[in-house]
Structure 1
Amino acid sequence: MKHLIAFLLLAASPSFGQQLSAQKQIILSNAGKSEVEVKLDQPYAGNENPKQMVDVYLPKKRNSDKPLPVIAMIHGGGWVNGDRIGYASLGIQLARTGDYAAVGVGYRLTKEARWPAQAHDCKAAIRWIRAHAKELGLDADKIAVWGSSAGGHLSSLLGTSGDVKELEGDLGPNTSFSSRVQCVVNLCGPEDFTQALMFDKEGQPIWKDDAVSGLLGGNAPDKPAEAKAASPLTHVSKDDPPFITFHGTKDQRVAFLHAEVIHAALQKAGVNSLLVPITDGGHGSVSHPEVKVRGQQFTDKILRGIESTIDTTPLEALSEPTKNQ
């Protein structure tokens, strides 16, 4: 996910607004060369907040006359950084196959709004996809969601809370549509805020976590109700969609135990769940190219009915074993 890292560096610059505009022009140019139609900055919440918008990537040449399944992509950044534009390259790659439409999902960051704003935004974005499915030639019943780190958390939450009215929110003009998704590709997402994301060398939990406190409005032990409600683990039920989770076993930012607990809970509930450990991998190890390959194979199987056996053999980290990017 080098494109996302480069984007975060860009976002720190003083002339970010101008550079973002230039970045969008580059995206449009690259999309045109790749035979992909791009619809940037589509508002889903009934306002002009730039964070409450989606970017849509559509193949100009489709491999089928049937409506396209959708892959919605949710960016990471600790709920305080990042932008959907960081997934533009992946969106173009997915759309150019001719088999999918891709949607980059924006959401309000914690400097603007705290939990449950992020859940409400992502659910409103999924409802927008369904509301516009007919005009865009999309299959409203085949929506996958992919996300890394904070985006993995929000993707997992969409997967497990499709039946939780309290998290639905009332944003936007499309509240009559469902926010359920049919497939989750989770890359190193936090799954249980009643447990720490990080641990010290002695294995003791580190509860002081600026990213988590920014999301919940305080450290997790001081916000037990919020910590429980914001945890995808809390909402696991037998009607959840299939999951595949990729996570580094030596991730020092979001401990591997988060992958283990969501996987175990989903399996116990009877949900199709796969776990692919990245041996000795840190937080950035999910950028391994095989993650995208297996993630897409899993999505192909669930959304397109392509029969295959998904390889869950642990991956070997490509970078320094404990490096967390």
Structure 2
Amino acid sequence: MNHSFRLPALFLLTVTVTCCWTSEVQAQLERPTIQDRLESDDANDDGKVSKNEFSGPARLFERLDRDGDGQILIREVIGNMSVRRPANDRNLSSRSPRGVDVKRNVIFGKGGGRDLKMHIVLPESKPSEPLPAYVWIHGGGWQAGSKEGGINQVARIVAEGFVGATIEYRLTGEAPFPAQIEDCKCAIRFLREHADEYGIDPDRIAVGGSSAGGHLVALLGTSGDVEELEGSGGWPDQSSRVQAVVDLYGPTDFSKFVTTKGFESHNREGSPESKLLGGGEVLGNDEGIRRVNPITYIDDDDPPFLIIHGTSDPVVPANQSQLLHKALEDAGVENKLHLIQGAKHGGREFAAPEIRDMITTFLKETLQDPE
């Protein structure tokens, strides 16, 4: 009798073990990796995570901060990790967030004679009608950072009925201003030219960015079709205008920035602001300060802005966002300034549910509501 039940019992045991193993593998594939968490915490997309930005336990931060300088360098952590990877997942770093399809390294134009690339983030299910787009521009003082962290930034917006994109632009080690804004404008023109291919409504394109990226999206918002900033990267028949701007703690007026108490060092040659202007001290370069300032180009035809800044930001003073807010108000441009009391330069306060909801609501109300 025992033999008559051996095969079914073995079969049931095999099925049970297989199901458990499959569930465990699936759970591991869906669980965020350390890289996912670090890229999500990297609020200004400079490739580093500070103690203030880190959302995990303090003891883990100390383990990952190998040289004890108070910063986790993401590429070093990922390079040092020994990860057991499933056979069907050879490159965890190229895995897409759940619910989206990422078209990686799409060439969108030329900058300084080389190809410029973006990642395009699409909903997994093809929509029946064109969707608004949300384009993320990374920070890093115009001298560091990459488009990689932007995938997570736009994925949650894509889930709300958008197409997303995260772009590269020339950093100051390669070229000074206006190379950065020229590349950003080229990306917007590319998306308009290829709107049908990617299911985008060309009349509904929003941009978002943090720190240096916040500066560039503000400049996109106020300088639409300003010829001196367009560049020659491609798609000249298309407009570079955008229809909504999410500016997270971006610089604006360098003359006020570098004379704010506690920020005087930014006036020195070699500061990020100096490098953007092409070198030398910031003060005295009046024309350079004018050209990089989004406030210079404001008029009453500019799109709605959502501006968010921490009151205790030690990198970019909050007066930069306050100046932009006032100038937009004076021009009659719809905008909202939200100051986060005690928040610094990025960090967990900017990933709080109420802030993420504020950004999502702004984008949906601005670009999804029927006219």
- The TM-score by the shorter chain falls in which range? 0.7 to 0.9
Q: CA deviation at 1:292?
A: 2.0
What is the CA–CA distance in structure 1 between the aligned matches of 2:311 and 2:74, rounded to whole Å?
A: 30
State the match for 1:179 in structure 2.
240
Q: Deviations over 1:92-134 (max 9, x none)?
A: 333234x011000110111011100001000000001101101
Structure 1 residues without counterparts, runs of 5 or longer: 17-22, 308-325
After superposition, residues 40-55 of structure 1 pair within 5 angstroms as: 40-46=104-110, 49=114, 52-55=116-119
Match in the other structure for 2:129: 66
Q: Which runs of 5+ in 2 are unaligned?
A: 1-39, 49-72, 81-88
Instruction: Say which SS state the counterpart of residue 85 (structure 1) adopts.
Output: coil
Confirm or deny: 8 A CA contact 1:80 1:111 kept in the other structure. Answer: yes
What residue number does 1:82 align with? 145
Aligned to 1:128: 190
Shift of 1:226: 1.1
Q: Distance in 1 between matches of 2:284 and 2:248?
A: 27
Q: Distance in 2 between matches of 1:222 and 1:24?
A: 53
For the structure 1 residues 59 and 10, does the alpha-carbon distance in structure 2 shift closer, same or farther, using more than 3 Å as the test? same
Pairing 1:30–2:96 present: yes
Give the TM-score normalised by structure 2. Answer: 0.73
How far 1:164 moved relative to its partner? 1.6
Q: CA RMSD in A?
A: 2.7
Query: 1:194 — aligned with what?
Result: 255
Residue 277 of structure 1: SS of its match in structure 2?
Answer: strand
Cα distance in 1 between the residues matched to 2:140 and 2:322: 22
Structure 1 counterpart of 2:356, which letter?
K
5 Å-filtered alignment, 1:1-325, equals 1-3=40-42, 7-8=47-48, 9-11=73-75, 25-26=91-92, 28-31=94-97, 34-46=98-110, 49=114, 52-62=116-126, 64-97=127-160, 99-172=161-234, 174-197=235-258, 199-201=260-262, 206-208=266-268, 210-218=271-279, 219-285=281-347, 287-289=350-352, 290-305=354-369
Q: Which residue of 2 aligns with 1:312?
A: none
* 1:282 to 1:106, Cα distance in 2 relative to 1, 3 A: same
Q: Is the 8 A contact 1:156 1:186 kept in 2?
A: yes
- 8 Å contact kept, 1:196–1:205: no
The amino acid across from 2:257 in the alignment is: A
Residue 205 of structure 1: how far off its partner (Å): 7.6
Partners of 2:202 and 2:152 in 1: how far apart?
Answer: 23
Cα distance between partner residues in 1 of 2:46 and 2:128? 37
Q: Which moved more, 1:148-157 or 1:292-301?
A: 292-301
Distance 2:316 2:258 in 1: 5
Quote the Cα distance in structure 2 between the aligned partners of 1:11 and 1:109: 18
Q: Is the 8 A contact 1:198 1:255 kept in 2?
A: no
Greater Cα radius of gyration, structure 1 or 2: 2
Deviations 1:38-63 (A, max 9, x none): 1111111247846x21110000225x
**Residues 46 and 144 in structure 2, CA contact (< 8 A), matched pair in contact too:** no
Name the CA distance, whole Å, in 2 between partners of 1:114 and 1:15.
30
Q: 1:71 touches 1:103 (CA, 8 Å); kept in 2?
A: yes
The alpha carbon displacement at 1:36 in A equals 1.7
Whole-angstrom distance in 1 between the partners of 2:196 and 2:340: 39
Partners of 1:198 and 1:102 in 2: CA distance? 37
Contact 2:100/2:122, CA 8 A, preserved across alignment: yes
1:13 CA displacement: 7.9
Residue of structure 2 equivalent to 1:314: none
Q: Give the Cα–Cα distance (whole angstroms) in 1 for the partners of residues 328 and 249 of structure 2.
A: 16
CA distance in 1, matches of 2:243, 2:321: 19
Aligned twin of 1:310? none
Which secondary structure state, in structure 1, belongs to the residue aligned with residue 239 of structure 2? Answer: coil
What is the CA-CA distance between 1:206 and the residue it aligns to? 4.9
Q: CA deviation at 1:80?
A: 0.5
Identity fraction in percent: 36
TM-score by length of 1: 0.83
Residues 300, 306 of structure 1: 8 Å contact kept: no
- Letter of the aligned partner of 2:96 in structure 1? N
Q: CA deviation at 1:195?
A: 1.8
